[in-house]
Amino acid sequence: MNGAGNRFGVFDARQCPDFTMTEKLAKSVAAKNGPMGAKGADQIIVMRPAKSEQADIFMEIWNQAGFEVDACGNASRCIPWLVMEETGKDKIVLETNAGLLHTERKGPNRVAVDMGKPKLDWDQIPLKEYMDTHVVDVKVGPIDDPVLSRPGAVNMGNPHCVFFVDDAEEIAADKIGPMIEFHPLFPEQANVGFAQIRGQDDIRLRVWERGAGLTLACGTGACAAVVAAHRQGRTGRKVRVEMDGGMIEIEWRESDDHVIKTGPVELEHEGELPV
C-alpha cells in the first residue's frame, strides 16, 4: 500500500499469532528490488488483533533499518482503510505503541486521522537537555553564518526536527538529513523536515525519515511541520502540505489541541510471501 506515495509492505497476522517480525525479515522485505518491487518499502506494517477493548486493530511498525518504531502517520490511514473495507464501518480506532488513534472515512480512498496532541516539552521530544522547543539550538554550517538554523522540535508519536527553508527543491536534504538524524541533541534520533512556506495555508515539505532516508511522504512529518510553523508564526492552523508523493491536509485544532491529518490511500497489490 501507499499513502501519498509513502510505501508500506503490510503483513496481515491477525490469524497468525505465532508470526514474528524480525530485524532481518523487515530489512529483506523493505529492500529495493525485493518482494515489494524496485522501489522497496519505506516501512513494514504488521496487522494484529487489538490489545485494547476500545480499538479495532493493532498496527506494528518496522522501518527499513529493521527496528520497531511507535508511529507512522500515512500508515495510520492505510490500515484503518483496510478494516473499513472489510467491515463497512466509516470509523475505526487504530491502536499503536504510541496509543489509540481515531480514524474516519472521508470519501473513496481517503481517510482522516486524529493524531492527538503534539508533544512539545523538551523531555517529550526527547532532547538531551532543556530548551524551548519552538526554536532549538541546531545549526548547519558555520556557527556565525549557518546555512540552516532555528528549527522547531515536535513529537507526533516520534521525534521531528523541522527546518524552514527558502526552497525545498534546492536544499541538500539527502546530505543534511542524516547529519541531523544522529545529532547529539536527539538521543532517540530524529526525523528531519525541510519546510518551504508558500503561504499561510500552504507548505512544500521534504522529509528525511530516521531509519528510512528520504521518502515520498511522511504523515507525522507533515503534522510536525504545521505545528512547528504555526508556533513560529509562519502559518495558520489549517494547512495543505505538498510532499513528493502528493498532498495531505493538516489541521491543528484550537478547540482541543488535536492534530487532524486527512489524505489518500492506495492498495497497490496483494499476494502471499513465504517466510
Q: Which residues of 252-266 are buried (b: 16+ CB within 10 A; e: fewer)?
A: beeeeeebbbbbbbe
Whole-number pLDDT of residue 35: 85
Whole-number pLDDT of residue 275: 66
Kindly list the catalytic residues.
Answer: 72, 218
List pLDDT tens digits, range 93-126.
999 998 999 999 999 999 999 999 999 999 999 9
Range list for CATH 3.10.310.10 in the chain: 2-115, 152-258
Grid cell at residue 215: 521518502
* Percent of the chain surpassing pLDDT 90: 89
Q: How confident is the model at residue 212 (pLDDT cuts 50, 70, 90)?
A: confident
Whole-number pLDDT of residue 230: 98
Query: CATH assignment of 2-115, given 3.10.310.10, 1.10.10.10, 3.90.850.10, 3.10.180.10?
Result: 3.10.310.10
Whole-number pLDDT of residue 143: 87
Is the domain defined by 152-258 classed in CATH 3.10.310.10?
yes
List pLDDT tens digits, range 162-209.
999 999 999 999 999 999 999 999 999 999 999 999 999 999 999 999
Other residues' Cβ atoms within 10 Å of the Cβ of residue 123: 12
Q: Would residue 82 be called left, alpha or beta, if left means φ above 0 and alpha means ψ between -120 and 50 degrees?
A: alpha
User: pTM to 2 decimals?
Assistant: 0.90
CA–CA gap between residue 19 and residue 80 (Å, rounded): 21
CA distances to 67, 139, 247, 273 from 33, rounded to whole Å, are 20, 36, 27, 15
Per-chain mean pLDDT for the chain: 95
